[in-house]
Amino acid sequence: MYINCRVCGGNVQEFVDLGRQTMANGFLRPEDVEREYFFRLAVGMCELCTMVQLLEEVPQHLRYHDAYRYHASGSESHRKHFAQNARRFMESELTGPDPFIVEIGCNDGVMLSTIAQAGVRHLGVEPAGNVAELAKAKGVQVLSEFFDLATATEIRAEHGRADVIFGANTICHIADIESLLLGVDVLLGPDGVFVFEEPYLGTIVGRTAFDQIYDEHIFYFTVRSVQAMADRFGLELVDVERIPLHGGEIRYTLARPSKRTPTPAVGDLLAAERTRGLAEPETFERFGHDVERVRGDLVTLLREIRAEGRRVVGYGAPGKCTTVTNYCEIGPDLVPFICDSTPSKQGHLVSGSHIPVRPPEAFAHDYPDFALLFAWNHAEEIMTKEKAFRDAGGKWILYVPDVHII
């Protein structure tokens, strides 16, 4: 099957199908299972501009609403990273008279709270009302809207143009990328930058991190596809930087044409992507096989553990665990519960697979033999925090880049 590319209108050819899935952040109460929303989770690549994207999408008002479960401040590493991001902007881009920064999808204010504390003019645009309230409680100015051309026009009329437009794990969520980029064009000052940090297709393919594929991630960026997208909408990709968050992301910096000299990192990463064949059909074919292999290995291991009468508990209920549990058909029979520190996920079920989410105390209270680490991107932080589990003889199961026990 194919669809038309959301960026350029070209043909998008499907390369992987992760089956019937629900919403990654659709954690639900047991009484609501009847009302679950399902769609086909399949990904393809545009033959013209190479943008990798979902074939089917979940309407955005069903994904972002007043009960959005993900809190961006939920880990120490993220709090540190975004505070540092804010300081970096204040030292580089926000140094003129009365600077202004806009964040697309500011979540609970993990980045903008540092900007707000410094008294710098800012605006978070956040459609999910509950996390927007958390940001406001930290002194952040928030507009509860989806970011698009109309919202950007409204912001410009009220606040003027922005020196920085920023997004972290939000730009790849916006299906109407044309309206988003036209909005950036309206709102961005002549010397401003549009900076965004998003999961990297190179990491997803290279580490078989197929759990990054879910309803919220409409696009799976590469330097090449972002550059083509920027060119198409009258912007220029001037810098790229690899960052460790979410297992490996890229921070893209776009500016108006000829305003900044592109850094050597852009050419270097483009060349690396060419060498890796990151836009070649064979690469995706291999990825499809790797995904199936990981599924087989993981399910076999979990069944063996169950047959031996030993216990497994899931650790961390990121959005990613929805893809893995549903694609591998892992239910409460194999993983009776998952513990997670996010209060709004606790007492809920993972959508589709219906594995209950419990607080971390449920883990420490009665250690299992194995902990299946769904939040693998936070391995260091979690394993340090849960050192006593290892000391008591417990073992961690990871499935990225392949299934292994440590």
Q: Which of ligand JHZ, Zn ion, none lies near 192, with the C-beta cut-off 5 to 8 A by kind?
A: none
Task: Summarize as ranges the residues that interact with ligand JHZ (CB under 6 A).
Answer: 70, 74-75, 169, 199, 216, 246, 316-320, 340-342, 345, 375, 377-378, 381-382, 385
Q: Which of Zn ion, ligand JHZ, none lies near 352, with the C-beta cut-off 5 to 8 A by kind?
A: none
Angle, in degrees to the nearest 10, between helices 223-232 and 264-276: 120
Write down the least CB distance from residue 322 to ligand JHZ, Å: 9
Cα torsion at 4, 64, 181, 40 (round to 10°)?
-10
Cα torsion at 170, 248, 340, 28 (round to 10°)?
40
HSE, side-chain direction, 13 A CA sphere, residue 60: 18
Instruction: Report the distance separating Cα 340 and Cα 352, nearest Å.
Output: 18
116 lies in the binding site for Zn ion (CB under 5 A): no
Q: Which stretch binds Zn ion (CB under 5 A): 38-46, 160-168, 195-203, 298-306?
A: 38-46
Task: Write phi, then psi, for 122 (nearest 5 degrees).
Answer: -155, 165
| Per rule CB under 5 A, count of chain residues that contact Zn ion | 8
Q: Which stretch binds Zn ion (CB under 5 A): 10-18, 144-152, 190-198, 341-349?
A: 10-18
225 within 8 A of 49, measured Cβ to Cβ: yes
Task: Write phi, then psi, for 74 (nearest 5 degrees).
Answer: -70, 0
Nearer to ligand JHZ, 224 or 378 (CB): 378
Note the maximum CA span of the chain: 67
Q: Which of ligand JHZ, Zn ion, none lies near 377, with the C-beta cut-off 5 to 8 A by kind?
A: ligand JHZ
Tokens of 266: 């852009």
Nearer to ligand JHZ, 295 or 320 (CB): 320
Write down the least CB distance from residue 391 to ligand JHZ, Å: 17
Write down the least CB distance from residue 209 to ligand JHZ, Å: 10
Chain residues binding Zn ion by CB under 5 A are 5, 7-8, 10, 46, 48-49, 51
